Amino acid sequence: MCTSTITAATWNEIERVGRLVAERDDAWAIPRVSAEFLHTLVLAGGYRRGLEIGTSYGYSALWIGAALAHNGGLLTTIEMNAAKAALSRETFRRAGLAQALTVVHGRAEDVVAGLEGPFDFVFLDAEKSGTRGYFDLVFPKLAHRATIVTDNVTSHEAELTEFVAHIRAHPRFCSVLLPIGSGLEVSVKLDPFATTVTLDGADWVI
Ligand SMILES: C[S@@+](CC[C@H](N)C(=O)[O-])C[C@H]1O[C@@H](n2cnc3c(N)ncnc32)[C@H](O)[C@@H]1O
């Protein structure tokens, strides 16, 4: 899939990091089907300013970053583990994506406020119990019509219950669980200036 949006160098790193994740017990990565979906979603949405919280060894960032790079965009990805952050930087260099992917080493709680937004695509995949806090930090930095994707809504249902209830009740979001991989919650921020008009009997959001 997507042979024209993922270079041979990036494929090599996707496969290498995939093997590494399977071998190590300190490495986690989204399933391949989730990665393919996120790559396609970024292409479909034409997003250009991406933010990921939870890099690990860079598997999801390779897929998301390749799509953002194809769109002419950039991904900032945050990882609190110094060794993982350093190895991910090296992975992105080998993938030929060093210009498009920036790894920020630190805790999201400490670094998000200092990042320059706005971001139009956000992937939340760090400590599950911290997700509501990441959302609160990211919210002021979101572009109009930004999309947030949150992983593990099915696999870590209990830890994510409060966050999922919050974003689904939020007046500025439309949010739905897609049963892909570990459960991806896809949340679209609504434009505050949007209004509904009725034309020929149909409602249109403009
Ligand atoms: C599930 S793994 C991320 C997997 C990665 N998104 C992928 O699919 O390849 C979660 C990562 O988040 C990092 N992490 C956890 N809490 C964090 C925080 N508060 N700030 C930054 N990174 C955090 C962990 O060190 C871990 O490497």
Task: Work out the average pLDDT over 113-122.
Answer: 96
Looking at residue 199, its pLDDT comes to 77
- For the Cβ of 126 lying below 6 angstroms from any atom of ligand 1, the answer is yes
- Ligand 1: distance of its center to the CA of 82 in Å? 11
Predicted local distance difference test score (pLDDT) of residue 39: 98
pLDDT band of residue 176 (cuts 50, 70, 90) is: very high
Q: What is the H or E stretch that residue 196 is in? A: strand 196-199
The DSSP bridge pattern shows strands 74-79 and 49-53 to be parallel
Residue 78 in contact with ligand 1 by CB distance below 6 A: yes
8-205: what CATH class? Answer: alpha beta
- Beta-strand pair 119-124/142-150: parallel
Q: Whose CA is nearest to atom 1 of ligand 1?
A: 28
User: Is the pTM above the cut of 0.85?
Assistant: yes
Confidence of residue 203 (pLDDT cuts 50, 70, 90): confident
Residue 198, phi then psi, degrees to nearest 5: -105, 125
| Distant-in-sequence, close-in-space partners of 59: CB < 8 Å, separation ≥ 6 | 14, 17, 18, 21, 29, 30, 35
Contact 187, 174 (CB under 8 A): yes
Distance CA 65, CA 69 (A): 6
21 lines ligand 1 (CB under 6 A): no
Q: Is ligand 1 within 6 A of the CB of residue 79?
A: yes
- Collapse the DSSP code of 98 into the 3-class scheme (helix H, G, I; strand E, B; otherwise coil) and give the result: coil
Q: Does the pLDDT of residue 195 top 80, yes or no?
A: no
Q: Which amino acid is at 30?
A: I
pLDDT digits (tens, 9 = 90+) for 142-165: 999 999 999 999 999 999 999 999
- Residue keyed to tokens 């990211």: 138
In ligand 1, which atom is closest to the CA atom of 126? 12
Specify the DSSP class assigned to residue 140: G
